[in-house]
Amino acid sequence: MSEDLQAQYRQLQRELMQIGWITRGSAYPRHYTIHVNGKPKCCGPYYSLTWKKDNKTQTKALSTEQYKLFSKAIANQRKLDRFLAKMRRISTRFIHQSTHGVAKRNRVKLTKKYPYLSAIRVNPSIIISAIQTVGKGFGFRPRLLQECFDRARWIKTAEDLAGLQVTTPAWRRLS
């Protein structure tokens, strides 16, 4: 697989050597319609080049010869951008495939409503569903959940939580 990526990369390098002049911007022909003695008359084409400089659009009038050369250079620039994007993708894939990375870590999402869900490395949805199940339909009780976290940091599944002995007065009222 890495040999295939290296071959693709070398092919793109060879194609890059064939690109001529490059520039950014847009070159386009413009036509004007004017009214002479009440009749419309088409004038043109007039050629223009626009580009961005210091976050402002610059415009320049072009001759026919300049228009052709600028059009080719702009097309080359866009082709170069596509080649570079392909080369970046291939480089990234090659580096990931040819080197060892770090082990993936499971991240616990913080929630604004229940920040203590991030205190242990457990999937919060498992604990919330377990508390609701153990509460026998009495709804979600944040104080009860906090006590569960304080008493048992070893919770991994809903079954572990269901077997937990909770001694708060609120829990006894729910049972």
- Do 8 and 93 share a domain, yes or no? yes
pLDDT tens by residue, the chain, 175 residues: 678 999 999 999 999 999 999 999 999 999 989 888 989 999 989 999 999 999 999 999 999 999 999 999 999 999 999 999 999 999 999 998 888 888 777 665 555 555 554 444 555 555 565 555 555 544 555 565 555 555 545 555 555 555 554 444 444 444 4
Number of domains in the chain: 2
Q: Give yes or no for a contact between 44 and 30, defined as CB atoms under 8 angstroms apart.
A: yes
Q: Domain residues for 152?
A: 115-174
Q: Tell me, yes or no, whether 87 and 124 share the same domain.
A: no
83: nearest Cα among 8, 175, 160, 162: 8
